[in-house]
Chain A
Amino acid sequence: MTKFLSFISRAYVTLVFCIVFMPMAIILVISFSADSYLSFPPSGWSLKWYGTVLGNTSFMQGFRNSAIIAVIVAALSLALGLPAAYALVRLDFPGRALIRSLVIAPLVLPAMMLGLGILMVFTPAGLVATYPGLVLAHLVMTLPFSIRILQTSLSNLGTDVDEAAMTLGARPLQVFMQITLPRLTPGVIASSAIALILSFDEIVLSLFIVGPRLQTLPVALYRYVDERTDPMVAVLAVLMIALSLAIVLVVERSVGFAKAFGR
């Protein structure tokens, strides 16, 4: 009986993994296709679509924009998220519990609504289709994640070590810079990586506020798929997955994801 159950559970897990990874596997295969349309299995093999993607100005522009925006968003997420997380964990002020739950509100709101709201605020402010506009919009998505991750890391640190430093003569800023921050490194790396990936992949909010002058890679990809379907799409998908995976691997290798998320 236990043997049978263990077989069932293994089969079940395998099935779930297949469902999750099948589309990615198919996309990976198609990216090496020699056909000029999306078909599976491909009738021939080539690397030509990789070359086409790298030569496509629209995609390369989008990639550049997305990369610039993602790096700025990750940096700002940390710069704004760390003090917020510190305040929410370490300081006691009226309304702390309320703000703690409000912080994750952008995650539970439909992205469509957020996008519409952002568009209505950004249009009069002249932020549509600008770097600051896209960065601000992405921050709405990434900040809740950054704050939550840093909050968890901070509360897992406890206060003993910081208090020990304080009794040894360290002022609050010295304690933060020399003791708290170094111990917070895993959380800082994890939250930055998440912000980077989220911003780089973001599409819904971006769709509302990109313009012909400024387009991100996911938006460029989305628009392209709207008109044509050739293996270039698969190549782009593979490249984007590879990039996200690389970031995840860096985090895993440097601090370990479980540790980064404070578990």
Chain B
Amino acid sequence: MSLASTPAHIRIDKLTFDYGGERPAVDTLSFDIAKGEFIGLLGPSGCGKSTTLRMFAGLLAPTSGKIIMGGEDIVSRPPWERNLGLVFQSYALFPHMTVAQNVAFGLRLRKVGKEESAARVAEALRAVRLEGFGNRRPAELSGGQQQRVAIARAIVIEPEILLLDEPLSNLDARLRDEMRFEIRDIQSRTGITTLFVTHDQQEALTMCDRIAVMNGGKLEQIGTPVEIYDKPATPFVAGFIGRANSVPATLRLGPGAPRLEHEGQALPAPDLQELPSDAADGAKLAAMVRPHAIQLSRQDGDGLTARVNRSVFVGSVIEVELELAGGHKLVAELRPGSAEAQLAQPGADVALTWRTTDMRIFAA
């Protein structure tokens, strides 16, 4: 999806929430959301993602910054005038109303006529595959069904944006996988712009068009799941999304192409564009490489020398713990049955290499 050409549907501009703690809970956060986009707000707990969502919904007043929706700053509007759908982690259904009454609540407040309301409620329940559940009470439904009622209730008012606050974390593992696709499917069918808050990188990677990674109240990186995974912009993103090894490296600018060394041994040749522009000879850097990108070979020339500490079969891959000459440890994932896996016997000495394109370089 080419987002540069799509006009921003919603723009978050330097949004800040500072309740006087050590640092702002949300710090000058800015990003755009395109119409119909499914965007994930991902980060560890306390990173400010939930605070951002609450400011979006109008349940928390930002210290400064703007939220532009439909060309207007909505920050000063109360929640009931924002026209957005919010789905809570706890579902927050109205227990004293039937499913249909729950879904119709927003329509009733908008003074939608009885017949139209009934039709739209039926349509929303069909969208979440809960036809025929209209007369049940929330307490009679399973967690996954309650979740879908909450979504139906939020989308029936045709909100500008659907806000999902950790919607899957109260479900058991099997249902969580199911609901992941279900939610994404509902979103694609209705085309509702969605902001999905989660701490689970797997959820974010599998569901979102784009992911905004937050840490310490700041935006670390925003991009497609592939971009975030393959080209993490910061060491935090590299470590938070997927597994990553970080190898301390020293930059050697000497004659010829720049090289990276670890304990005097050469790392695979770095991509010149990756190197920090201000890095001088001898600069301390960190080379990031994913476990599955590491290739093992016999010690006969190129590569970092390492010893195999441990080799564990975990089903689809073999996880190998490797120790470099200086004692630094790495994890590699090998395909079971491959020649590499044969080499990975505990105590064996091996050489490690990886492709230049699989390595990211950060200032240490």
Most chain B beta carbons < 10 A, residue from A161, A164, A169, A182: A164
| SS of B interface (majority) | loop
CB of B153 closer than 8 Å to a CB of A: yes
Residues of B within 8 A of A170 (CB): 80, 105, 109
CB pair B93 A161 closer than 8 Å: yes
CB pair A171 B80 closer than 8 Å: yes
Residues of A within 8 A of B94 (CB): 161, 164-165, 179, 183
Binds A, one of B24-32, B82-90, B212-220: B82-90
CB pair B96 A183 closer than 8 Å: yes
Most chain B beta carbons < 10 A, residue from A167, A182, A183: A167
CB pair A164 B96 closer than 8 Å: no
CB pair B157 A169 closer than 8 Å: yes
B97-116 contact mask (Cβ, 8 Å, vs A): 1 or 0:
00000000110011000000
Contact among B82, B90, B153 for A160, CB-based, below 8 A:
B90
Q: Which residue of A lies closest to B88 (CB)?
A: A160
Q: Which residue of A lies closest to B156 (CB)?
A: A168
CB pair B109 A167 closer than 8 Å: no
Residues of A within 8 A of B58 (CB): 166-167
| Alpha-carbon distance between A20 and B88 when the two chains are bound, in angstroms | 48
CB of B79 closer than 8 Å to a CB of A: yes
Q: Give B24-68 interface residues, CB cut-off 8 Å to A.
A: 57-59
A141-168 contact mask (Cβ, 8 Å, vs B): 1 or 0:
0000000000000000010110111111
CB pair A168 B95 closer than 8 Å: no
| Alpha-carbon distance between A137 and B152 when the two chains are bound, in angstroms | 51
CB pair B59 A163 closer than 8 Å: yes
| Alpha-carbon distance between A171 and B82 when the two chains are bound, in angstroms | 12
Q: Number of A interface residues, CB 8 Å?
A: 16
| Alpha-carbon distance between A166 and B81 when the two chains are bound, in angstroms | 9
CB of A174 closer than 8 Å to a CB of B: yes
| Alpha-carbon distance between A22 and B304 when the two chains are bound, in angstroms | 87
Residues of B within 8 A of A167 (CB): 57-59, 79-80, 82, 84-86, 154
Q: Report B93 CB to chain A, min CB distance, Å.
A: 7
CB of B343 closer than 8 Å to a CB of A: no
Q: Which residue of A lies closest to B90 (CB)?
A: A160
| Alpha-carbon distance between A165 and B153 when the two chains are bound, in angstroms | 10
Contact among A158, A166, A183 for B80, CB-based, below 8 A:
A166
Q: Which residue of B lies closest to A174 (CB)?
A: B109
Q: Give B97-147 interface residues, CB cut-off 8 Å to A.
A: 105-106, 109-110
Q: Report A187 CB to chain B, min CB distance, Å.
A: 14
Known: A166-B58, A167-B84, A167-B154. 10 other contacts (CB 8 A): A160-B92, A163-B88, A163-B92, A166-B79, A167-B79, A167-B86, A168-B157, A170-B105, A171-B78, A174-B109
A-B contact pairs, 29 of them (CB 8 A): A160-B88, A160-B90, A161-B94, A163-B59, A163-B79, A163-B86, A163-B88, A164-B94, A164-B150, A166-B58, A166-B59, A166-B78, A166-B79, A166-B80, A167-B57, A167-B59, A167-B80, A168-B80, A168-B85, A168-B109, A168-B153, A169-B81, A170-B80, A170-B109, A171-B80, A179-B94, A182-B96, A183-B95, A183-B96
